[in-house]
Amino acid sequence: MSEPSAKKVRKAVVPVAGLGTRFLPATKAVPKEMLPLVDVPSIQIIVEECVAAGIEEVIFVTARGKSAIEDHFDRAPELEALLARRGKKEDLAAVRRLTELARFVSVRQGEPRGLGHAVLCARAAVGDEPFAVLLGDDLLDAEVPGIRQLIDLHARTGTGVVGLKEVPVGQEHLYGIIDGERTAPRELRVRKLIEKPAPGTAPSRLAIIGRYVLPPEIFEILETTPAGRGDEIQLTDGLETLCARKGLYGLEVEGQRFDVGDRAGYVLALVHYALRRDDIRVEVRAGLEKLLRS
Ligand code: G1P
């Protein structure tokens, strides 16, 4: 096992090149990452998790048709001038704040060749330092930001860390699943990783949720990782090699997870975030109770 790394995790890679076909027709012209939870697009919740965890630079791995994501975090002089003229101070502050959350960088993934390939596209932007990866389909509402929990374990072990949640029996085939040896109540030394095991073959119910802290060595590994499941370069396959060479930890992340890549999951997340809002909670709760009675 390698020595604890002193290098701070400053950068996060956020793959956003996916087509979002599960949300058609909504995603024909709008990136799925821009679908809102009340009035905040899901990608903003991901970026805010990064910022709350001390990340300074967010690297979007993007594709054609996804420029709304970059625009969301960019200055909007005409809109800002209009809001200023109309005296809409709060809206103006909210719009400006987005541009100051972090440094934003975009790299393109020219063809959809898998999550491992998407991460590899960020190689030059990341450079030679450990980095975080957050997948936009997984939202975590936690007291300590989800990715911060992984960063803290990385600081202690110096190895890569994958975020985990136990999934219900029968759902293992939807995830990367790990097998490992428990070293603390929520921590495991990973022994094995399998991307979306066939039903009935998973070694555990510990699923990789979309949070990772990885050493830069993962890039040279991904460069030679052959296409795997679905004929795509799988990040999970690269992690298997990383695990054998340098060790890898799994952390059962504390907090509530929502799969906004799933239609029902998206609705549940929307309701959750609405009920957390002081301005609409009472009205939404009353409306929901009425709906459930009808
Ligand atoms: C990806 C990963 C998988 C992981 C999942 C978490 O799959 O390949 O290992 O469990 O994200 O959301 P996807 O959901 O993109 O098919």
pLDDT at 237: 96
pLDDT averages per 10-residue partition of the chain, 294 residues: 68 95 94 97 98 98 96 97 97 96 97 96 98 97 98 97 97 96 97 95 97 98 95 96 97 97 97 97 98 94
Residue 208, ligand 1, Cβ within 6 A: yes
Residue 195, ligand 1, Cβ within 6 A: yes
**Which is the closest atom of ligand 1 to the Cα of 235?**
8
Residue 214, ligand 1, Cβ within 6 A: no
pLDDT at 211: 98
210 alpha carbon – ligand 1 mean position (Å)? 7
Residue 151's alpha-carbon distances to 82, 95, 183, 215, 217, in angstroms, are 41, 29, 17, 11, 17
Structure tokens at 143: 């007291």
Q: For ligand 1, atom 10, which residue shows the shortest CA distance? A: 175
**pTM score over 0.85:** yes
In sequence order, the 6+-apart residues with CB closer than 8 A to the CB of 186 are: 251, 252, 254
Return d(Cα 162, Cα 189) in angstroms, integer.
10
Residue 135, ligand 1, Cβ within 6 A: yes
Return d(Cα 164, Cα 187) in angstroms, integer.
9
Structure tokens at 6: 């002193």
Q: For ligand 1, atom 15, which residue shows the shortest CA distance? A: 115
Residue 212, ligand 1, Cβ within 6 A: no
Helix (H, G, I), strand (E, B) or coil at 23: helix
Return d(Cα 7, Cα 19) in angstroms, integer.
34
175 alpha carbon – ligand 1 mean position (Å)? 5
User: In Å, how far from its chain's centre is CA 280?
Assistant: 27
11-293: which CATH architecture? Alpha-Beta Complex (3.90)
15 alpha carbon – ligand 1 mean position (Å)? 12
Helix (H, G, I), strand (E, B) or coil at 11: strand
pLDDT at 7: 85
Q: Verify cis geometry, omega within 30 degrees of 0, for the bond prior to 226.
A: no
Residue 138, ligand 1, Cβ within 6 A: yes
265 alpha carbon – ligand 1 mean position (Å)? 15
49 alpha carbon – ligand 1 mean position (Å)? 19
Residue 58, ligand 1, Cβ within 6 A: no
**Which is the closest atom of ligand 1 to the Cα of 259?**
12
Residue 266, ligand 1, Cβ within 6 A: no
In the block, tokens 């009472």 appear at: 282
pLDDT at 6: 54
In the block, tokens 């440094």 appear at: 103
